[in-house]
Amino acid sequence: MEPGYRGLGRCACCFWLAVAFDVVGLLVLLTGVFVSVFFYDLLIYAGAIVIFLSLIWWVFWYSGNIEVPPAELEDDVGLLKKDKGGLSGAVRRLSSRVSSGIRTSFRRNGAPTRATRTEGSRGGATGAPQVEQVSVSMATMTPQGDTPHYAVSAAAGCDVEMPHTTTESSPT
Q: What is the pLDDT of residues 93-132, one digit of tens each?
A: 888 888 888 878 777 776 555 554 555 555 555 555 666 7
Element (H, E) at 134: none
- For residue 145, the model assigns a pLDDT of 53
24-33 long-range contacts, CB within 8 A, separation 24+? 24/50, 25/49, 25/50, 25/51, 25/52, 25/53, 25/54, 26/51
How many residues belong to the chain? 172
pTM: 0.43
* Amino acid found at 3: P
